[in-house]
Structure 1
C-alpha cells in the first residue's frame, strides 16, 4: 500500500488481509501536524469536553469517551469524510458508506480504565440488520503495551456475533464463549504510532488494558455502516445518506 499525509492506496493484498484477519493497520495516514491539531481540540475545544462520559470496567476503573452522531464543520467531521479514511472504508466494505458516529477515547496516564473484550456489533446489533460495518481507529498518542493499546483476536470476525452482557459499566462478550475462542485464535497486541489507523470489522473481538503508564493514550474512532445495510430501529435519515465528499486538506 501507499500511505502518507495526502493519500492511502489500498492494494488487493490489503483487502484480502482485512477479510482474512478482520483488521488492517495502515501507518502514517495522518501527519504529526494533523494529529497535533486533533489533540489541541481535545484539550481546548468545547465538543469533546461537553460530551465526555465515563464507563467503568469490571474493576471499577474509569474509561472515558465522547461520542456524537452528526457531521458538522469541525476537525472531527473533516477527518470522518477525509478520502484517506472514507475511500479506504469504501474499498474494504465494497460499497458506498454512511457515517454512523465518531468518538474520542481518553485513557489518562495512571488512571485510564480498560475496555473489556467485545465486538462493536454487540453494541450495534439492535440498530442494524447485518454486520456490514467498520471502525477506523486513529492513534493520537503512541499506543503501547504500557498505556493500554488495543488487543484483537485475529480472525474472530468470522465467528459471527457472540452474546454480550454487562461487565462493570460496559458490554462484554460472553465469558464462557470467549475462553474457548482465546484458546483457538491468536491474540495480537496492536501497538500504533500517532497518525496510524486501524480499520477493523464490527465483529472483531477486541479489548484494551488499563493505562498505568506516565503517558496518555487518546484516539479518534469513526464508525461507518454500509449504505445498503438496513436500520432495524427508527433511525435518523443520515444512515441512508452517503458520506459526503471530503478533502485531504483538513484545515
Structure 2
C-alpha cells in the first residue's frame, strides 16, 4: 500500500475516521499472537499445577482460550494485566513498523514519524463491564499541550471485530470539536474517563466493524467508544498512534521511537532493542 488516496485523505481529515480494508497481511500478527500465547501458557501451567485449572485448554483457539482460563482463576487480574497494555516485544515492534501503516501515516503528516508512546494491546472479554469504554477523545488521556499535534491513530483488530463482540463506534465529524471535558468514573465498570451524553456534539454515530487485516483510523479529537462484547470469544485489538516527533506527544517523559525519517534516517529504530534502550536513557 502506498498511503491514502486523495479521496480517503479528504474523508479522514473531514470526518475524523476512516475504515480501510486489507492493509496488513494477517500473517504479520503471528509473532505477537505467539508472544501472547506464551504468556497465557505460562499462567495456565502455573494455575494447573496449583490446582486452579482442571485443564490447560491448549486445544482452544486464540480468541477463546483465555475466556475459559479466566473463568477458573481465583484472581485473573495479574494475567489480564500481562496481556493488556504496552507490550514491548518483537511482535509489537514488527507491527508498529509495518511499511503499510507508515505509508498511510506519511500520506497524512509527512515522512517524519514518531511511533507514539501511547499504544495498547487490548483483550476485551465477553460480558466484562471493565472493558466497555465510554465516549471519549484520546486527547482526554494526554497532556493538553498535544491538542494541536495531528496524531494518526490506528485501531487494529487481531480477530474480526463486529457489533456483537464490541467493535468501535465513532461520532462522524467530532474531530472538529475542541477538547471536551472528561469526567472520571464513567462506563459500566466506572473505571474510565469519558464524555457524558449532554456534552456530545451532533453527528452520526457510526458502527465500525473491521476484519482482520483492516484498520480503523481516527484522530485524537475524534469521539469514539467501544460497546459491550456479547459474543463467546475475546475481541483482541491494538491501538497505535503516530505523530511528528517535532510536536508535543502529550506524554512528557515517556519515549516513543522514530519509525521513519527522511531528514534523519540514522535515528530510525531498527529493532526492539533500539526501542527498549530508550527507556534506559534520559528523555530530553
Q: TM-score, normalised by structure 1?
A: 0.77
2:59 corresponds to 1:65 = no
Which residue of 1 is the match for residue 92 of structure 2? 76
Equivalent-residue separation in structure 1 for 2:21 and 2:177 (angstroms): 27
**Post-superposition offset of 1:226:** 2.1
What is the aligned partner in structure 1 of residue 114 from structure 2? Answer: 98
Matches within 5 A, 1:1-251: 7-45=1-39, 52-53=80-81, 65-67=84-86, 74-94=90-110, 96-101=112-117, 102-111=119-128, 113-126=131-144, 128=146, 130-166=148-184, 167=186, 168-178=190-200, 181=201, 184-230=202-248, 234-236=252-254, 238-239=255-256, 241=258, 243=260, 244=268
Matched residues in 1 for 2:79 and 2:107: separation? Answer: 31
Shift of 1:177: 0.7
Equivalenced residue count is 222
**Once the 2 structures are TM-superposed, how far is the Cα of residue 98 of structure 1 from its aligned partner?**
1.0
Superposed displacement of residue 209, structure 1: 1.0
- CA–CA distance in 2 between the matches of 1:233 and 1:109? 31
> Are 2:163 and 2:209, in contact at CA under 8 Å, matched by a contact in 1?
yes
Q: Could you say which structure has the higher helix fraction?
A: 2
What SS does structure 1 have at the residue aligned with 2:105? helix
* 8 A contact 1:135–1:224 mirrored in 2: yes
| Residues in 2 aligned to 1:162 and 1:140: alpha-carbon distance in whole angstroms | 30
- Closer, same or farther: CA 37–232 of 1 in aligned 2, 3 Å: closer
In structure 1, distance between residues paired with 2:243 and 2:39:
27
Larger radius of gyration: 2
For 1:123 and 1:88, the matched residues in 2 are separated by 24
Q: Deviations over 1:190-234 (max 9, x none)?
A: 011011111210100000111121122111121122223135674
Q: Is the 8 A contact 1:21 1:154 kept in 2?
A: yes
Unaligned runs of 5+ in 1: 1-6, 55-63
Cα distance, 1:228–1:174 mapped onto 2, change above 3 Å: farther
Decide whether aligned partners of structure 1 residues 220 and 234 sit closer, same or farther in structure 2, where only a CA change above 3 A counts: closer
Which range moved further: 32-41 or 7-16? Answer: 32-41
Q: In proportion to residue count, which structure has more strand?
A: 1
CA contact (8 A) 1:97 1:227 kept: yes
